[in-house]
Amino acid sequence: MSDLETESLREKCGVFGIFGHPDAAAITALGLHALQHRGQEAAGIVAFDGRQFNSERRHGLVGDHFSNERVIKRLAGSASIGHVRYATTGETVLRNVQPLFAELEGGGFAVAHNGNFTNGLTLRRQLVRDGAICQSTSDTEVILHLVARSRKLRFVERFVESLRQIEGAYALVALTNKKLVGARDPLGIRPLVLGELNGRYILASETCALDIIGARFVRDIENGEVVIISESGIESLKPFAPQPARPCIFEYIYFARPDSVVNGRSVYDVRKRMGAELAAESPAEADVVVPVPDSGVPAALGYSQASGVPFELGIIRNHYVGRTFIQPSQAIREIGVRMKHSANRGVIEGKRVVLIDDSVVRGTTSVKIVQMMRDAGAKEVHFRIACPPITHPDYYGIDTPERDKLLAAQMDLEGMRAYMGADSLAFLSVDGIYRSMGLARRDPVRPQFTDHCFTGDYPTRLTDVLAESSPRQWAMLAEAS
């Protein structure tokens, strides 16, 4: 894939914002550090010091740049927003690193986005046709142009008018010379929380970003809610027609940090329950339960506790390599799996092993890990996956490859088992996932979560996908614009 394809398609990110604190940028850096799992490729902070906007955007980890005193000093101001960004392959050009900033009529405007606009390219084409000059290939830039073009008088009206034109998933934080603004899409697909530190308001993708700075969790920003934080306090708007929330289920399965509470549910507890449901649905005659670390650990604990099969750390993870997914090509990804995990032979040898992972995407990890168990002398390997087969790509800001690269879209269960080389293979059912959420089952008429990865049920229009069916076409469009 070209860089451009990657840049225009793959973003999964974390956002943070704080208003009215003398150390706004330093606090934002800490918050972003806690959100690092949501994006390891680049990070940025924009702060407003009462006179001007100060901006630093860098490739790499938050700690690589934003722990530097000089950098933080340059980010003077009592209000700031920040962003961590993730893309799977290729280099990100700095112009795509967020927060994005523009001087608009009425003052500066910075914005950071987690999610993906499913009509971003369509809007962008219209804007470019109308004379807009785009600086980045990021869909987020569309917001800057829409706000700039709005004829409404007040900033918030202009912002809301822009949101009305956008489809898809967004958790946004925006900063003007007077306000910190947060917004969550009408279905609340991506998470966004409100926190408070010594009377100052904070917005963050996850509660773990509040915990790191000792801030108090106030509440989730609701689906379709816009909050405006200023010297006069906090104001909430509900500009969209009300509808039931459909948060993304994948936040619970893989994406969010286990110590976060997302939409009122502890991610750790949900993951453990997924393991327990899996044990009930798909038991295995085995001697040890072994997680694929780190993401499989809570589900493996749940599986072990529910089944009575002892939990052992049969695979040790090297924490000094990035996530497998970040490796740019399949060949390198395969090496990456070996770099990342090694077998703890003493726990595996001569044993019947139940291996637990949270999900299977391309199947790269599964194949390597099963082989690793065999090489370490496992007598049997029973693979259990704590979510249903991922058969459909995501268009809402979680990185997944196109359909032809998704293992479960290419093979049936027996085909996958044979491909992985496991003695048995089972996935948690869709209703099993809902039971883990404390619900009786998936409501077929009004599903409680966004779960298209397993069901193909996309909850919003997919205007860009319908308009341009291949990623190459998308990339060419972005290039043309």
Structure tokens at 56: 């630093």
Please report how close the Cβ of residue 209 comes to ligand AMP at its closest, in angstroms.
Answer: 19
Query: Which of these, 211, 145, 121, lies nearest to 468 by C-alpha position?
Result: 121
Closer by beta carbon to ligand AMP, 11 or else 357: 357
Q: How many residues bind ligand AMP (CB under 6 A)?
A: 19
Closer by beta carbon to ligand AMP, 87 or else 174: 87
97 binds ligand AMP (CB under 6 A): no
Cα dist from 13 to 2, 36, 205, whole Å: 20, 9, 9
- Cα angle: 273, vertex 275, 277; to 5 degrees: 70
Please report how close the Cβ of residue 365 comes to ligand AMP at its closest, in angstroms.
Answer: 3
The response to whether 259 counts as a known ligand-binding position is no
Please report how close the Cβ of residue 477 comes to ligand AMP at its closest, in angstroms.
Answer: 24
Cα dist from 377 to 77, 182, 302, 334, 364, whole Å: 59, 53, 25, 21, 21
Closer by beta carbon to ligand AMP, 88 or else 96: 88
Q: Give just the sign of the alpha carbon dihedral 398, 402, 406, 412.
A: positive
84 binds ligand AMP (CB under 6 A): no
What stretches of 150-226 show up as alpha helix (H) in DSSP? Answer: 155-164, 208-211
464 binds ligand AMP (CB under 6 A): no
CB-CB contact of 63 with 123 (8 Å) = no
Closer by beta carbon to ligand AMP, 323 or else 403: 323
307 binds ligand AMP (CB under 6 A): no
Q: Which amino acid is residue 448, in one-letter code?
A: Q
Query: Interface with ligand AMP by CB under 6 A: which range of 106-114, 320-328, 374-382, 462-470?
Result: 320-328
Q: DSSP letters of 2-18?
A: -HHHHHHH----EEEEE
Query: Interface with ligand AMP by CB under 6 A: which range of 100-108, 138-146, 157-165, 392-400?
Result: 392-400
Per CB under 6 A, which of residues 351..380 are in contact with ligand AMP? 357-366
Query: Interface with ligand AMP by CB under 6 A: which range of 97-105, 125-133, 183-191, 318-326?
Result: 318-326
Query: Which of these, 51, 41, 45, 42, lies nearest to 30 by C-alpha position?
Result: 45
SS (H, E, C) 363-425: CHHHHHHHHHHHHCCCCEEEEEECCCCCCCCCCCCCCCCCHHHCHHHHCCHHHHHHHHCCCEE
Phi/psi for 148 (5° steps) reads -60, -35
CB-CB contact of 185 with 169 (8 Å) = yes
The response to whether 357 counts as a known ligand-binding position is yes
Among 95, 178, 317, 323, binds ligand AMP (CB under 6 A): 323
The response to whether 358 counts as a known ligand-binding position is yes
* Catalytic residue from among 13, 208, 248, 453: 13
Closer by beta carbon to ligand AMP, 239 or else 363: 363
β-pair type (180-184, 226-230): antiparallel
Structure tokens at 161: 């008018």
Query: Which of these, 60, 134, 65, lies nearest to 102 by C-alpha position?
Result: 134
453 is catalytic: no
Closer by beta carbon to ligand AMP, 10 or else 21: 10
325 binds ligand AMP (CB under 6 A): yes
Q: Cα–chain-centroid distance for residue 308?
A: 33
Closer by beta carbon to ligand AMP, 38 or else 246: 38
Q: Is 319 helix (H, G, I), strand (E, B) or coil?
A: coil
220 binds ligand AMP (CB under 6 A): no
Among 36, 223, 282, 295, binds ligand AMP (CB under 6 A): 295
Please report how close the Cβ of residue 139 comes to ligand AMP at its closest, in angstroms.
Answer: 18
Among 254, 268, 383, 458, binds ligand AMP (CB under 6 A): 254
Q: Is 278 helix (H, G, I), strand (E, B) or coil?
A: helix
116 binds ligand AMP (CB under 6 A): no
55 binds ligand AMP (CB under 6 A): no
Among 398, 422, 433, 453, binds ligand AMP (CB under 6 A): 398
Residue positions forming the annotated binding site: 295, 357-358
Known catalytic residues are 13
Binding site for ligand AMP (CB under 6 A): 254, 292, 295, 323-325, 357-366, 398-400
The annotated binding site for Mg(2+) is made up of 295, 357-358
